[in-house]
Chain A
Amino acid sequence: MTQAIRKTAPAPLSPVAFNIPQAFQTTLKNGLKIVIFEDNRLPLVSFRLAFFSGDVNDPDDADGLTSAMAAMLTEGTRNYTSLALAEKIERLGANISASSSDDFTIVAASALSLYNSEILELIAEIVFRPTFPEDELDLYKRNTVENLKFQRSQPSFLANEQTARILYGEHPYAKISPTPEDIEKLSRNALVGFHRKRFLPNNAVFVAVGDVDRTELVKDIKENFGKWQTGDFGAVAFYDPPARSETSLTIVDRPGSAQSNIVMANIALDRNNPDYFRVMVMNQVLGAGASSRLFMNLREEKGFTYGAYTKIDAKRLSGDFEATAEVRTSVTGESLKEFFYELNRIRNETVSEEELANAKNFLTGVFPIRAETQEGLTNLILSQQLHNLPDDYLQTYRDKIDAVTTHDVEHVAKKYITPKNMAIVIVGDAEAILPQAKPFAKKIKIFDTEGKPKDISEYGQKLGGDTAQVGGIWKLVLDFQGQQVPVSLLLKQSGDVISGKLETMLGNGKINDGGKISGKKLSATATSEMQGKTIEFIISATVEGDSMAGTISAPIVSEPLSFKGTRNEKP
């Protein structure tokens, strides 16, 4: 092959059409809707029995009831103990599980198609005849409480918890997880009563995808689910998410944390909003992927983080826009600046035709990949059903994305991304974060990891601009494997920005404007050229008047070296 052909990316072959036929639909007399997608390529089936009620429908005094009920469905029924049921299912090589989300409760099964009838009977067994045994419920409660405790050690959980609370107020989306106290309160009686009230055929849809015969399957479903009594599940009204008029900053304090988990969020749109596809394309340009603007800026250009993304969480009743990243503590403030820059840019400048085309190509291209496996296709069909999307939703999905224009992107960016009333939530070392983040919001609150508010004046010294003056020449002594090594530090200060020089016997390092002083805490990086390699020395110290103590770490030493010393000359 000639070099020339190799120079540029090849043109695609002619496109291959991807036609998904529409699924068959029918409804039983009792109101149970049935959706069947026949696909006999492989001897497999996927079933979903889904209910249009979820965690938001927990009674006011029983948070966690829906998720507990779902989890307990497979822990004992009239004809099977928990163990006997697990054995029966696994002996068929199958999977059956039940779980709840904010809006829905879903029983999911997958199996070899030669066991279709057995699986249908087992779904009927767990849906109609769960016994919620006391001992299994006790075990569920104990394990769930342990897991909830463990969750609090995860920064992402703490960030999501605060974000939902702030955005959704009195709306049930505000609570992303029950508390240990909620779990302790759950009783068998409550589960039994709730199950009877919630599991109604006229509040459910049955989806089947795979190697099935439509006529036979409808007959089987009728046999198992036809006698199910229709009922009234009662309409529930929810408060709207609160209106917000200004930017807020909420810090969850994890002292010593090396990273800041940043979430910036505002209320956006629900899943049925006609702007949904436009917002999806806008989000792809802005931050959904590794070639989106936010990632290219914060990771590829600035190197602040391993990844920075935006997402649209569009649920049944409402939804939000979120921008997130985990960044090094020292660049928290600079990261916020870049976030706001990108959020404002997509609102105020029309995106280029090329960026638009790239985003659309990605979204239309991955669609068939998502639909390639039976589980993937089942989840697409289920989501269509649960959100009452049009019958031709899957068939027109790519056309709707292709129809989005640069004007649409600008319009929905302005409408659904609102920097002026954004909730900023940061999980990390509050002492270090506060001075960096406070310029971005007027309203500031700090919580501990248990969710209890902290007195902001505890961090007040650093808030008031009580910044140490560190300019001058410092003579320091470094402890290198027991040896005392002299080191000099020449510092210049401008506001809270530090620059200067690190002098050692091995060579000198330069501190560019990246150094920071926050209260009495100095953090700076000196870079040095050694044998053609760039080496970074990370300096972190506390200053008390004319004395300083801290550590220097570098890739060539395995542990940070501690130092202390005094100031010889002031500027």
Chain B
Amino acid sequence: MSETFNLPPLEIEQYTLENGLRIVLNRDNAVPVVAVAVYYDVGSRNEREGRTGFAHLFEHMMFQGSANVKKAEHFQYIMKAGGTMNGTTSSERTNYFETLPASQLPLGLWLESDRMRSLAVTQENLDNQREAVKEEKRLRYDNQPYGQIFDLINEMIFRNFANSHSTIGSMEHLDDATVEDVQEFFRIYYAPNNAVLVLSGAFEPTEAKQLIETYFGDIPSQTPPPDLNVDEPKEVAETFREWEDKLAPFPAFLLGWKIPPRRSQKFYALYLAGKLLYDGESSRLYQKLVKGEESVIQLFGFTDERRGPSSIFVGAIPKPERDLSKIRGTIMTEILHIAADGPTAEEIQKLHNQLFNDTVRMRQSSQSRAQQIAEFALYDGDPTLINSELEDLLAVTPEQIRAAVDEYLNNENRALLDVIPAGNGQ
């Protein structure tokens, strides 16, 4: 199969400005659209105890104006130019990105450089965004059925504070933050030498390089951020917890396992095992639980990939009156089957075709290319991994999948969160 499938590599050019900002250019002129992605090497993992929620608060602060861009003007500039934009925060990084008509590349670079250089970290903006974050927490976590379960299970899986605390953080910590704390955080983590800038799409490289130098070249670099330790013992911190959810209409449960870091051979093996278990209608658990036993309303699973110890989840919302422990039994039995016999030849063929398909599809949009490239550049120092990751995944053998499932997806290395509806019976 892989002999007949030939995917030409993406054109990647990388260099570093004198101030340490890493630049990656991926030119593809097919559609006159350009994607700009700026990735800062700061996420919740960089937060100290007593100062959680800072990385995410910053994502908000970055839209509050800078020396030459007024509050809330950022998104208006982008929309008026016919573009789209956003920013997100994870444990690993904070990213900011725009997709623009090709002619508007200077606008995107101007906006990103102005806030990298001169963000308005003022008391007023800080107070204002603290409140916005609280509103967001109410809307997305506190006021949603099952909204807090992933934050809770991370506390159960990880022992190291850098890994275990949530991205949204503690509202008390945000209240305690002084404007000086926040300015210091900006100085250290939002420095050019702590970031990656990726352009993907339609542009002239010479012109783009010149624009990048003009806008970013003289932003001063800073001393590098302090070293970070994300080490973990192999076993999870806590194996069982019950959580009373006032908004949940049905009981539910979530299983989480601690697994090796992203891009390790064992992580790849477990990522593929996960796909066999929960991805698509032919997956083992869909066929057992949704079709066979007809016991669940919703089944889901995914891997959380991190530079340090990572995790894999399987969860279900069962139909009313179902026995949750029996459903968990079915899940563990299927996992044991893979740990004993490994995947079948048909399953490997399915995985390979899905990997081809996913890889090609991810390449269609300039923004999705820019974001993948930025991750490889930031996490691995090598943006060209976008061209070779498929081979790494295809190289995983059935025996490696079996062995990784056997080693990691067992009861001892597992956190179980039971969600109990505690509302008014609605």
Contact = CB atoms under 8 A, between A and B. Distances in A.
B249 A150 contact: yes
Contacts of B67: 6
B202 interface: yes
Interface in A333-388: 358, 361-369, 371-375
Interface in B250-271: none
A90 B281 CA distance: 8
Nearest to A16: B32
Question: On chain A, which size bracket covers the interface?
Answer: 35 or more
Interface residues of B, number: 71
A10 B33 contact: no
A79 interface: no
Interface string B93-124: 00000011111111100110010000000010
B218 interface: yes
B81 A12 contact: yes
A279 B105 CA distance: 30
Contacts of B139: 306
A92 B7 CA distance: 17
Interface in B73-101: 75-77, 79-84, 99-101
A277 to B, nearest CB: 16
A364 B82 CA distance: 7
Interface string A119-151: 000000000000000000001001100110010
Most buried by B among A42, A258, A300: A42
A9 B75 contact: no
A106 B76 CA distance: 37
Interface stretch (A81-89, A215-223, A436-444): A81-89
A215 to B, nearest CB: 22
B349 interface: yes
A9 B360 contact: no
B291 interface: yes
Contact of B103 (A15, A91, A112, A532): A15
B350 A90 contact: yes
Given A90-B281, A372-B33, A373-B364, A16 B99 contact: no
A188 to B, nearest CB: 18
A237 interface: no
B357 interface: yes
B99 A153 contact: no
A44 B319 CA distance: 38
Interface in B330-364: 346, 349-350, 352-358, 360-361, 363-364
B371 to A, nearest CB: 14
Contacts of B111: 9
B395 interface: no
Nearest to A374: B364
A7 interface: yes
A94 B357 contact: yes
Interface string A1-37: 1000111111111111110000000000000000000
B32 A9 contact: no
B337 to A, nearest CB: 17
Contacts, number: 163
A555 interface: yes
Interface in B129-148: 134-135, 139, 143
B280 A86 contact: yes
Nearest to A41: B30
A493 B184 CA distance: 48
A41 B361 CA distance: 11
Contact of B76 (A5, A17, A291, A534): A291
Interface in A74-112: 82-83, 86-87, 89-94, 110-112
A369 B33 CA distance: 7
A43 interface: yes
Interface of B: 4-5, 7, 30-33, 67-68, 72, 75-77, 79-84, 99-107, 110-111, 114, 123, 127, 134-135, 139, 143, 171, 175, 202, 207, 214-215, 217-218, 249, 280-282, 287, 291, 294, 297, 319, 346, 349-350, 352-358, 360-361, 363-366, 426
Interface of A: 1, 5-18, 41-44, 82-83, 86-87, 89-94, 110-112, 114, 139, 142-143, 146-147, 150, 153, 258, 289-291, 300, 306, 358, 361-369, 371-375, 532-534, 555-556
Closest 10 A-B residue pairs measured CB to CB? A365-B82, A93-B353, A16-B32, A93-B357, A10-B106, A86-B281, A86-B282, A373-B364, A12-B103, A87-B282
Given A291-B80, A365-B81, A532-B123, 12 more contacts: A9-B77, A12-B104, A15-B103, A42-B364, A44-B361, A93-B350, A94-B353, A111-B357, A114-B5, A143-B297, A369-B83, A369-B99
